[in-house]
Amino acid sequence: MLRRARQGTSAYFFVMGMTAGVWMARIPAVKAQAGLSDAALGAALFAVPVGLVLGAALAERLVDRVGSALVARVAGVGNCLLAVPPGLARNLAELMAALLVFGLAGGTLDVAQNAQGVRVEAAYARPVMTSMHSFYSLGAMAGALAGGGFAWAGVSPALSLAAAGAVGALTDAFAGRWLLPGAPSRATAAGAGGKSALPARPPRRSAEARRVRRLIIALGVLAICGMVGEGAAGDWSAVYLKDNLGTSAGFAALAFAAFSVTMTAGRAVGDGLIHRFGTVPVIRCCGLLAAVGLTAALVSRNPGAAVGGFAVFGAGLSVVVPQVFAAGGRADPARPGSGLAKVVGLGYAGLAAGPAVIGAVASRVGLHQALGIPVLLTLWIAAGAAALAPRRGERDGGGGGTGPFRIKEGVHP
């Protein structure tokens, strides 16, 4: 049962990545179809992270009230179906509205699937969250390849997205049957001594509330740092190689490809590293590795070495966001969905604002210097890794023990 729950959750991550990958591959066609300038397209694309933040906020109460499985099943199918309208947009207003709703479903889904991942990880009593996130990266690469194939074959954006959405919706509908039903309860958290199911607003001491609030803020800052780095690689790596190092557009695209491959590989092996060495040491080393990689890419004037630097940057960032999200789901045992949604929402805010801030700074001091911002943020990840330390009663790297979501195999609240 647990293996199927893990497979089902991984399938949700894969499908979300796949639909996003197909969409990103068809953005140029949608831009031409809607007759948009670069500036107008940038404004339209900003609707996605806005929707993601709003979706995370919407999921905050839903996950705790009805459980992550039900929210994931509804939002998963909805996210796939809502991937189609952006492909039908004929002007800026239509595209912005379609992307806002698409982002809203995506943000809700992301909180729900991560909350489900936290429960699965707690049931395993060992780290599995990072490997589930690796399926998002695999899905994104598969979607990008499929989207490129659709573009090469001359398939319209709407039909491309409809095909991806149909496959994704069927996959999510099937995989949704394997998710752990219900919501975590205080009884399962406390073991035999638990007395009641999770209340919506349980009373607690002000000191405990302050501790939870500080922890969520600290984790949110780490999420911002990680997602600014991911956004910087996605938006600026190819631009940096082409404009600053003088490479061709084709070679410049290798920077983000290398980043994506090492991020996927890092997530595939991340759980084993965390299980062996512990969460804090791994995240601290990953922050330093990411800083070294991006610094090497910026210091070297050799394009091949710069691609290698972005590859190291991806490996360093690979386990950061999955572990921060997992810690967000464990931060508030009384309201796990609330803690996770806040951390995810802050991370998406960083994803929305980070590349724009880098662009604004680059317009004044140059892109080479502006990319120093994510270098500093990765150093902060290394410095702030202690926020991921397990609380008393938790096992390191994935809950379990007497931690907040301890669930015995085959027993679901």
Tens digits of pLDDT across the chain (413 residues): 789 999 999 999 999 999 998 998 888 889 989 998 877 887 888 899 899 999 999 998 899 889 999 999 999 999 999 999 999 999 999 999 999 999 999 999 999 999 999 999 989 988 899 999 999 999 988 988 898 899 889 999 999 999 999 999 999 999 999 999 876 544 333 333 333 334 444 455 687 888 888 999 999 999 999 999 998 888 888 888 988 999 887 788 888 889 999 999 999 999 999 999 999 999 999 999 999 999 999 999 999 999 999 999 999 999 999 999 999 988 887 787 888 999 999 998 888 888 788 888 888 898 899 999 999 999 999 999 999 988 765 655 544 433 333 333 232 32
Dihedral sign of CA atoms 19, 20, 22, 23 in order: positive
Which among 48, 130, 25 has a CA at the least distance from the CA of 349? 48
Residue 396: predicted pLDDT: 58
Dihedral sign of CA atoms 312, 270, 230, 342 in order: negative
Dihedral sign of CA atoms 337, 343, 348, 349 in order: positive
Residue with tokens 């991020």: 263
* pTM listed for this prediction: 0.83
CA distance 195 to 172: 34
Range 2-187 classified under CATH 3.40.50.300: no
Which among 198, 195, 240 has a CA at the least distance from the CA of 359? 240
Which among 291, 297, 203 has a CA at the least distance from the CA of 247? 297
Spans of all domains in the chain: 2-187, 208-388
Domains 2-187 and 208-388 alike in fold? yes
User: Over the Cα atoms of the chain, what is R_g?
Assistant: 21
Give me the count of residues in the chain.
Answer: 413
Which among 399, 353, 107, 383 has a CA at the least distance from the CA of 218? 383
Residue 316: predicted pLDDT: 96
CA distance 28 to 26: 6
Please state which CATH number belongs to domain 208-388: 1.20.1250.20
CA distance 413 to 377: 39
CA distance 411 to 395: 20
Which among 389, 233, 237 has a CA at the least distance from the CA of 317? 233
Which residues on adjacent β-strands are paired with residue 399? 395
| C-alpha dist (Å) from residue 18 to 13, 49, 151, 160 | 9, 17, 16, 12
CA distance 112 to 114: 5
Compute CA 115 distance to the chain's CA centroid, rounded to the nearest angstrom.
12
Tokens of 260: 């994506």
